[in-house]
Structure 1
Amino acid sequence: MEDNVFNQMAAKYDTEDRKELANVIANEINRILDGKNYYSLLDYGGGTGLVTFQIAKHFNEILLLDSSHEMIKVAQSKIDPKQDYNFEARQLNLMEDNDLGFKADVIILSLVLLHIPDIETLLQKLFNVLNKDGMLILIDFDKNESIYHPKVHNGFVQNEIMELLTKIGFHDIEMHTFYHGKNIFMNKDASLFSSISKK
């Protein structure tokens, strides 16, 4: 989808269905992060922060990026200055702007690749933003042949994502399907996978 679509959706983005799916995703990411010690998080394409705020407790420095300025406005309105962590929400499209000025221990990509035509370029840029020994956590839909949209991937084959991550330089890659839900992907039943990889 184009950025202006997300700008139009932003004010009403946090529906009950989206919150429910974000809870499922945040639970999986919290499971991955529990017991691990990381300092900084980049949530790329984090939208209104539905997932980000639920995993923030693991980090000291958090940067949420999204290409939609209206999504960022909603995320900024949720930031609590009394929290123990430093949270910044900023508009930026890494496909067009390399000047991030931030290095992360952990990068989250949650339902983002769906909307990216050139996923290899984005993953390469995110690899460069990761600190040494940093971790990329990728959440997305498994390939779903019953879905078609001209601007959205219909999910991904896990082995193909693994090969791409390996090509870029990631290692210690783990991947599995962790959730099956009804009407969660363009009103179709679908499954979500998570991928963990190290730099």
Structure 2
Amino acid sequence: MGHINQFNQLAAKYDTPKNRYMAKRAADAIRNLLDESHKKTAIDFGCGTGLVGLDLLEDFESMLFVDASTKMIEQVEKKLADRDTKKATVLCLDIEKDAQLPYKVDTIILSLVLHHIPDSHRLLSKLYDTLNEGGQLLIIEMEKQEKDSNHHEHGIDRSVLATTLSGLGYQHIQSDIFYDAKKESNGQEASRFVLSARKNLN
């Protein structure tokens, strides 16, 4: 995952009140789309400090927290130690270096990860292979915005993402805005959406 050093530096101070609030909103949005019949095991991929996955931990029998940043993983380990839970494990893994996730799961959570990945198509294909039959990929991302004064584009185009996922074999793709930036921040930041996609769901 790109910018690993940057994330290592951010880890200790990442859990700001705003980030905690947005993680809670993201977890609630994911919970609303969770399939009750396919949610025993989960991976929080690109978990950061674990804010979203930890909020959802009790919804699963087990969860693996994965991140390429050692410092982010250390933050998750501290939180898990405080909880004294046996339901979660951690793994420091840079999947962009041809690494594979260790086992298949029912649910993969991908919160604010895709916009950091240069080759998101390859990542989404690997995650498809990691899902059990009928498994569910749940993505939290920022809506694509207009180019800023420096001609940078921010966020993810939902329709392009859905087309990419469909081409990889994902089915039953649905998405929804759960944070409307125009209404909630006067357009000062990006809106956020949740997207659900399934593997071989007939």
TM-score by length of 1: 0.89
Larger deviation, residues 113-122 vs 172-181:
172-181
Counterpart-to-counterpart distance in 1, 2:150 and 2:27 = 26
> What runs of 5+ residues in structure 1 fail to find an aligned partner?
none
Counterpart-to-counterpart distance in 2, 1:158 and 1:121 = 17
Query: Counterpart of 2:181 in 1: which secondary structure?
Result: strand
Cα pair 2:38 2:135 within 8 Å, conserved: no
Q: CA deviation at 1:36?
A: 4.4
RMSD: 2.3
Counterpart-to-counterpart distance in 1, 2:59 and 2:75 = 22
Is residue 2:29 matched to residue 1:28? yes
Structure 2 CA distance for partners of 1:19 and 1:128, relative to 1, 3 Å: same
> What runs of 5+ residues in structure 2 fail to find an aligned partner?
none
Q: CA deviation at 1:189?
A: 2.1
Structure 2 CA distance for partners of 1:106 and 1:147, relative to 1, 3 Å: farther
Q: How does 1:1-199 map to 2 (within 5 A)?
A: 2-33=3-34, 35-80=36-81, 82-83=84-85, 86-147=87-148, 154-181=154-181, 188-199=188-199
Q: CA deviation at 1:102?
A: 1.6
Counterpart-to-counterpart distance in 2, 1:5 and 1:126 = 24
Kindly indicate which of the two structures has a greater share of residues assigned to strand.
1
Aligned length: 195
Q: CA deviation at 1:17?
A: 1.0
Counterpart-to-counterpart distance in 2, 1:8 and 1:100 = 25
Matched AA of 2:107: V
TM-score by length of 2: 0.88
Cα pair 2:93 2:99 within 8 Å, conserved: no
Matched AA of 2:181: G
Cα pair 1:114 1:153 within 8 Å, conserved: no
Query: Counterpart of 1:117 in 2: which secondary structure?
Result: coil
Q: CA deviation at 1:98?
A: 2.4
Q: Which string of whole-angstrom CA distances, capped at 9 and with x for unpartnered residues, describes residues 9-30 of structure 1?
A: 1111111111011111011112
Cα pair 1:4 1:68 within 8 Å, conserved: yes
Identity among equivalent positions (%) equals 34
Structure 2 CA distance for partners of 1:168 and 1:47, relative to 1, 3 Å: same
Stretches (4+) displaced over 2 A: 33-37, 80-83, 97-100, 146-150
